[in-house]
Amino acid sequence: MGSEAEVKIPREMIQMIFESARSLHPKETIFMLRGKTRRNEVAISEIVIPPSATYGKGFASLPLSMMPLDFSVIGTAHSHPSGSLALSIEDLNRGLGKIILVAAYPYQGKDNLAVYNRKGEKLRLKVT
Ligand SMILES: [Zn+2]
Give the up-direction half-sphere exposure of residue 109: CA atoms within 13 A in the CB hemisphere.
Answer: 1
Taking CA atoms, 126 is separated from 10, 65, 91, 107, in Å, by 8, 32, 22, 17
Residues 21-35: tens digit of each pLDDT? 999 999 999 888 999
Distance (Å) from CA 21 to ligand 1 centroid: 12
Residues 61-88: tens digit of each pLDDT? 565 555 555 667 899 999 999 999 999 9
If DSSP codes are grouped into helix, strand and coil, which group holds residue 93? Answer: helix
Distance (Å) from CA 122 to ligand 1 centroid: 14
Distance (Å) from CA 104 to ligand 1 centroid: 9
pLDDT at 63: 57
**E strands, the chain, in order:** 6-9, 30-37, 41-48, 73-80, 99-104, 113-117, 122-127
* Residue 108 CB coordination number (10 Å): 12
Residues 94-124: tens digit of each pLDDT? 777 899 999 999 999 999 999 999 999 999 9
Q: Measure the CA angle with vertex 84, ends 78 and 85; round to 5°.
A: 60
Write down the mean pLDDT value for the chain.
87
Distance (Å) from CA 87 to ligand 1 centroid: 5
pLDDT at 52: 58
